[in-house]
Amino acid sequence: MSDLNLDDFASLVERPDAGVQRDSEERRQRLVPPAGSLGRLEELGDWLAAAQGRCPARPLERVKVLLVAGDHGVARLGVSARPAGSTAAMVRAVLDGSAAVNVMARQFGARVRVLDLSVDADEGAFPPAVTRHHVRRGSGRIDVEDALTPREAEQAFRAGMAVADEEADSGTDLVLLGDLSVGGTTVAGVLTAALCGTDASVVTGRGSGIDDLAWMRKCAAIRDALRRARPVLGDQLQLLAAVGGADFAATTGFLLQAAVRRLPVVLDGVVSSACALVAQRVAFRAPDWWLAGQSTGEPAQAKALDRLALDPLLDHGVRLGEATGALLALPMLRAAAALAAELPERPEEPETPETPEGPGSPGASEAPGEPAEDAGPAEASPH
C-alpha cells in the first residue's frame, strides 16, 4: 500500500509572501523611474521578492537548468520529426556540452543538470549522476496501453520530489525546467486536452516540425489516448501512469515539491506546461511559484498556460525544447532583480513652511467693503 497522498500538497503548498510583495510594490513607487515605466520588469521584481521572502529581491546567482529526459512509445507511430528512441543522442549532446542549451547556459551563467527517467538506452550509457533516478526504458504506447505501471508512476513522481529537495537544499534560487524527449508533445497534448476538456484537434501542434501526414497521425494518437485518459481524470497519479510517462511523472513531482520548498521555477515549453497543469489539479496554489518563459506556438501549451493563468514572458517562436525558451527569459529576471535592488529612491522634497495668513500679513485677505485696520480717517471728498 502506497503512503504517497497527493492531497497533502494542497495544504503544504503556500503562496509566496504577500506582505513582502506589498512592500516591494510600495518601494517601487518611491524609485526614481516613474512607476510603470519599466513595464513587466517591475512585476517580475515584485514576484521574485515575494518568492524569496525579502525586499528588495536579491540577485539570481545560483540558477539551474533541469532537463528531464524520457522516450515515449507513441513516437513509434511517426508523430515526431525525430526518429523514435533518439532521445539518447540528445542526452549525449547535452552531456558533451554541444547542445543549444549548453551554449545558452554558458552565455547566461546557468548550470545544466540532466535526469534520465526513461531514456531507451543501454545500461551504462550515461554517468550514474544522470541515471540515478532511472525508472524504465521508454514507455508504453499510450493510444493502446498504459505508459507506466502504478508503481513506476509513483517511483518517478518521488524521484522528482527528491530532486526538488536536492536543489532547494543546495541553494539553487531559480530552476529553468525543460525536457529531452521524442513524442513528448503528443503526450503533453493528451494531458492538456484531458484536463481542459477539449478535443484532440484543438491541442495538436507541429511539435518538432512535422508535415501534414504526421500531424494527422499525431491527432489520431491523441484522440485514442484521450479515450483512455478520461476515465482516470480524478486520480492524477493514475492519469500519469495511463497516458503520461516517467519523465512527466517526475516533472510533476518536482513542480509540486519545489512549490512546497518555495523554489521558483520557469517553465519552458509544452511538456513542462502540461505537467504544471497536472500539478495544479493537485495543489491550486502551486502556479504562484511558476513563470512561463516563452510561447512556443504549440496550441497545447497556449491552452495549458491559459488555464494556469500564466502569461509567457517572451514570444520568439522557439520550439526546440531543452529549456532554451526558459533560458531566454533569464536575462529579464536578472535585470528585474538588479533594478529592484539597485535603483535609488527619489529624495524626499523639503516641506515648504506655511506662511501665516493672519491680519496684517502679506497676502492676507480683507473683507470686502471694510477698511484695513491700519488705515487712517477717510479724507473728505472735495466739493
Beta-carbon contacts of 122 under 8 Å, excluding residues fewer than 6 positions away, are none
DSSP for 168-198 reads HHTT--EEEEEEEEESHHHHHHHHHHHHHT-
What's the rounded Cα separation, in Å, for the pair 151 and 233? 18
Our answer to whether residue 322 is catalytic in this structure is yes
- 286/325 Cα distance (integer angstroms): 21
Contacts of 369 (CB under 8 A, 6+ apart): none
Q: Where are the beta strands (DSSP E) in the chain?
A: 63-71, 111-118, 174-182, 265-267, 290-292
Instruction: Find where cell 529576471 sits.
Output: 333
Cell triple for 8: 497533502
Report the candidate in 328, 335, 294 with the shortest Cα–Cα distance to residue 39.
335
Closest CA to 258 of 16, 91, 7, 4: 16
Catalytic residue among 322, 342, 351, 370: 322
Other C-beta atoms lying within 10 Å of the C-beta of residue 119: 31
Which cell numbers in the block locate residue 191? 494531458
- DSSP letter at 258? H
**Helix/strand/coil (H, E, C) string of 66-126?**
EEEEEECHHHHHCCCCCCCCCHHHHHHHHHHCCCHHHHHHHHHCCEEEEEEEECCCCCCCC
Q: Is 286 exposed, middle or buried (0-12, 13-18, 19+ CB in 10 A)?
A: buried
- Please report where in the chains the cell 493514475 appears, as a residue: 238
Give yes or no for a contact between 299 and 204, defined as CB atoms under 8 angstroms apart.
yes
Q: Using an 8 Å Cβ cutoff, are 191 and 244 in contact?
A: yes
Where in the sequence numbering do the catalytic residues fall?
Answer: 322
